[in-house]
Chains A and B, each alone.
Chain A
Amino acid sequence: MLACVLPQAARAAEEAVEITRAHIEAAEEGYRLSAAYAFDLSHGLEDALQYGVQLSFTTEISFTRPRWYWFDEKAVTNKRTHRIWYNVLTRQYHVTIIGSVSQSFDSLDDALFFIRRPTRWVVAPRGALKVGEVYNVTLSMGMDRNYLPKPIQVNAFNNREWTLASQKKTFQYRAE
């Protein structure tokens, strides 16, 4: 019974977030990720958001360099979390990049737009990558259930509506 449900849930999760654009730009301050995602909140998620539940979206990126003689070298791993919540009192949506800026939006779409088209993100400082080497970049983005309040977490584990994640997208990048 459980075995039948698991693959379905996995498939639903695969289709939930689509990475429409992802590439690395080399800038002065470091290597920046320019990405865009396409996803929609499910009915349950939207309801929960309206009730004031905080949702977190975590983007994870890692640069690995294949080595034939040993495990792949993990050059960089980085993680950024967007948090969106709705203030029922002031009727505003707040999107916070954890450890960074916070922004308020009057409408859900504006707030989600901020997550779907995030600002450029410096994923690695200059010098973290060896120039000229080719790295495998793995990118994934999805709702992070670790940040959910505990009772909701419990619900999320059992509810397919509460699964929102992308498949890992891997592409190659030659460091400049």
Chain B
Amino acid sequence: MTQALRYLFVVAGAVCSILLFLLASASDNSGFFDRYYSWLLAMNATVAFALLALVAVSLFRLYSRYKSGKFGSRLMTRLVMLFAAIGVLPGLVIFLVSVQFVSHSIESWFNVRVEEALEAGLDLGRSALDASLTELRGEAGKTADELARLPFYAAPSELARFVKDHPRIQSAIIVDADGGLIVSAMGERRINLSADLPTAAMMAKAQAEPPYAAAEGGSELRDDTVNAPAPPPLDPNNVLRLRVLMPIADPSSVTRFAPRYLQVIQAASPRLASDGEMLRTAYSEYKERFVARVGLRRMYIETLTLTLLLAVFGAIAAAFLIANDLAQPLLLLAEGTRAVAEGDLSPRPIVASSDELGTLTQSFNTMTRQLSEARTAVERNRIALQNAKAHLESVLGNMSAGVMVLDAEFRLVTCNDSVERILQKAGVALIGKPLGDVEGLQEFAAAVTAAFSAQSAQSAAGRNIQRLHWQRQIEISRPGGGPDESALILLTRGSRLPQEGGGGYIVVFDDITDVISAQRSIAWGEVARRLAHEIKNPLTPIQLSAERLQMKLESKLEAKDVELLNKSTSTIVNQVSSMKRMVDDFRDYARTPPAQLQPLDLNGLVEEILHLYVGDEGNDIIHAQLAPFLPMVMGDETQMRQVIHNLLQNAQDALADVADPAREPRIDVVTEAIHYQSADGGTRIAVRLSIADNGPGFAPKILARAFEPYVTSKARGTGLGLAMVKKIIDEHGGRIDIQNHADGSGASVLILLLKLAPVQLA
């Protein structure tokens, strides 16, 4: 039910109340009633029609809602029907009783006997009047005869005598044929004679069939007209009186006198007059009512019917309103329940009433609020949990170590991204497979299984119960690599998952090939240092001894032997000096002096070194690309110079190996500033020096161990160049990386210098 419809109902109700009131009170105000009765009726009918339409619309809407099974329509229908019945039934009963009552009561006013009695009374009155008239006529006839006999002059006295003899005679006059007054005699009270003169019609009647005798008067002006002046009580017209008009026979001569007429007016006896008047009034009123009864009844019934219609429609309309009011909170609640079921916990509008319905909605809202809070808490917890899980996953995922979770049958349950990186296997593809079935992981699987078995055996033996995990270094061949590939060394730890969670194993492993490599280079350094020390000591005595032998024996030997001696001695000396140099190299490598870090202009250094290479025939193969405004780095100039020399030398050597003449040899030396994010969140700057060539690149086996001493691809060379470079850069706190170009066109060495010189204000 819309608000507009609601207001329409109210307005219609008010209007029809007013109209009904007017209709009911219409009989009081006849003028108003007369003018507007039709309009009033029409307006009432219009309002009734409007209400009918309204009710019809409402009913139709309700029906269609009911039909479509709209939520709440059933309750509304029941309530509406209930309230409508409560409103309509009593109205109908009262209407029927009223109609019956009106019809019967109106009919009961009239019955045949009363009418007959009135008619009879009227006849009685008329005959009484007639009797009086007859008597008066007799009297008048006698007087007329007397007057006819008497001479003309005696007429007044005769009339006077007549009037005097009959006290009720009001006047006695003699008129001529035109009604002109000839002689008159009056009773005591008579003054105005003009009203008594006979009219032309009376004269005509008296002449046509004498005598004329009639009762007249009794005219009673009703006082229901406001304008009409009240008639004087003694107005002759208002008194019932008898008039006799008869010609006076003229015996003497027909032609001597004009015909004369005697008129006698006598008041009816007061008793007869009052009774007659009463009778007449009663009869008239009775008849009036008789005439009016049909209209009266019709009007009552019309009014009653209209009232009924208005009441019925009003009741139905009110039923809609009440039902709506009553059903609203229930529907609201039901709607709310449904919404809650669908998960909408927003608060419902509260019904502002202090009764149980209001309380109900309030408690409903309280309930939904609590539900909502509970759900919010659950949601919050879930999100927290999810975040924790995501955090854990991200930690696992970004962990450098590979983590594998295996079930009791050594099938992979989950693993992190590092597994994929280290083992070069798509981790997702492995999930669910027994580890031993995976191509290339058999060794690893066997080692892991063995380790777990060993641990079980140890646990069973009762030793080291406290130790929950094992640690082992497992060496497996590099996946996809050839036989000459260096092995992958994995530091693997394994632990068991608690039996309550379904058992299983966790395997954590890390690629420690690099670590091993670093350890190797340290070991090499140590070996080299000791070896150099040990070897260098006997070298000088050897050389000296050889030279001494030559000096001493040269003169004593024959020419042929001298030649041999000299040759051998020089060989010994050369070899010793060569060995010395080698040992020096070793010593240098092993005992590189600590770097003296000072602010260093890397660009300047690079330019200076390149300057030396310009003189070479391949001067156009080196292309420098130096970033301007490069920050100063902290570095040892001598050592850095050595680094750059070594790398450029390597690059040139690599280019010398190029077999493809189509490829133009080229070396790029690039310096640039790199912005990176440090661990504490701030932005920092590093300087990168990269030297790239388009030579054949590093062999894969070399690539892994390039920084180890004595690892070289060159025919001549100590294999210490890159090892030195690495050592120096490490001392500078920098990073060094070598990589082959993806398309196989050469290799790059990238040096990242992280220590920058403090900015000095110029």
Contact = CB atoms under 8 A, between A and B. Distances in A.
- The reply to whether chain A is a binding partner of chain B is yes
B66 interface: no
Given A2-B42, A6-B42, A104-B216, A152 B291 contact: yes
Interface string B125-165: 11001000000000000000000000000000000000000
B44 to A, nearest CB: 9
Interface in A122-142: none
B289 interface: yes
A158 B299 contact: yes
Interface in A25-57: 44, 47-48, 51-54, 56
A99 B228 CA distance: 6
A103 B216 CA distance: 11
A151 B288 contact: yes
Contacts of A119: none
Contacts of A105: 201
Nearest to A1: B45
Contacts of A94: 219
Given A53-B288, A87-B280, A88-B280, A155 B295 contact: yes
A152 B38 contact: no
Contact of A99 (B42, B227, B285, B295): B227
A38 B581 CA distance: 163
A102 interface: yes
B295 A92 contact: no
Given A106-B201, A153-B30, A154-B27, A92 B216 contact: yes
A96 B227 CA distance: 14
Contacts of B224: 147, 149
Given A94-B219, A106-B201, A88 B122 contact: yes
A99 B222 CA distance: 13
Contact of A96 (B219, B280, B284): B219
Interface string B12-38: 000000000000000100110110011
A150 B27 contact: yes
Which secondary structure dominates where chain B touches chain A? helix
B296 A154 contact: yes
B298 interface: yes
Nearest to A146: B31
Given A2-B42, A104-B216, A105-B201, A154 B292 contact: yes
B21 to A, nearest CB: 18
A47 B291 contact: yes
A62 B201 CA distance: 35
B179 to A, nearest CB: 15
B756 to A, nearest CB: 105
Interface in B225-245: 225, 227-229, 237, 240
B220 to A, nearest CB: 9
Contact of B295 (A81, A149, A159): A159
A89 B201 contact: no
A157 B295 CA distance: 8
Interface in B463-478: none
A158 B298 contact: yes
Contacts of A90: 129, 214-218, 240
B34 to A, nearest CB: 5
Contact of A157 (B37, B227, B280): B37
B295 A88 contact: no
Contact of A2 (B30, B45, B205): B45
A81 B225 CA distance: 11
B291 A87 contact: no
Sorting the interface of chain B by its residue count into under 10, 10 to 19, 20 to 34 or 35 or more gives: 35 or more
Most buried by A among B224, B284, B292, B298: B292
B219 A88 contact: no
B280 A52 contact: yes
Most buried by B among A2, A53, A54, A158: A158
Nearest to A159: B295
Contacts of B280: 52, 87-89
Nearest to A104: B216
B125 A151 contact: no
A82 to B, nearest CB: 12
Contacts of B284: 51-53, 88
Contact of B38 (A6, A89, A102): A6
Contacts of A158: 294-295, 298-299, 302
A72 interface: no
A56 B41 CA distance: 25
A152 B217 CA distance: 24
Given A147-B225, A152-B288, A153-B30, A102 B219 contact: yes
Contacts of A48: 287-288, 291
Sorting the interface of chain A by its residue count into under 10, 10 to 19, 20 to 34 or 35 or more gives: 35 or more
Contacts of B217: 90
Contact of A51 (B30, B31, B291): B291
Nearest to B31: A146
B30 A53 contact: no
Given A90-B216, A146-B31, A2 B41 contact: yes
A78 B229 CA distance: 17
A12 interface: no
B296 A151 contact: yes
B30 A96 contact: no
B215 A3 contact: no
A92 B214 contact: yes
B214 A102 contact: no
Contacts of A116: none
B290 interface: yes
B218 A53 contact: no
Given A89-B218, A92-B214, A153-B33, A51 B299 contact: no
Contact of B291 (A6, A53, A89): A53
B154 to A, nearest CB: 33
A65 interface: no
B545 to A, nearest CB: 153
B504 interface: no
B295 A3 contact: no
A97 to B, nearest CB: 11
Most buried by A among B129, B219, B285, B294: B219
A155 B227 contact: no
B283 interface: yes
A37 B603 CA distance: 135
A98 B225 contact: yes
Contact of A89 (B122, B289, B298): B122
Interface string A51-94: 11110100000000000000000000000010001011111101
B276 interface: yes
B221 interface: yes
B279 interface: yes
Contacts of B38: 2, 6, 157
Contacts of B34: 145-146, 153, 157
Contacts of B225: 56, 81, 98, 146-147
B270 to A, nearest CB: 15
A105 B201 CA distance: 8
A29 B236 CA distance: 29
Contacts of B285: 149
Contacts of A108: none
Contacts of B296: 151, 154-155
Contacts of A85: 219
Given A150-B27, A153-B34, A157-B37, 7 more contacts: A48-B291, A51-B284, A89-B277, A151-B288, A151-B289, A153-B30, A154-B296
26 contacts: A2-B42, A3-B42, A51-B284, A51-B287, A52-B280, A52-B283, A53-B284, A88-B284, A89-B277, A90-B218, A94-B219, A99-B228, A103-B199, A147-B225, A149-B224, A149-B285, A149-B292, A150-B27, A150-B30, A151-B293, A153-B30, A154-B292, A154-B295, A154-B299, A155-B296, A157-B38
Interface of B: 27, 30-31, 33-34, 37-38, 41-42, 45, 122, 125-126, 129, 199, 201, 205, 214-219, 221-222, 224-225, 227-229, 237, 240, 276-277, 279-280, 283-285, 287-296, 298-299, 302
The 4 nearest A-B residue pairs measured at CB: A155-B295, A52-B284, A51-B287, A151-B292
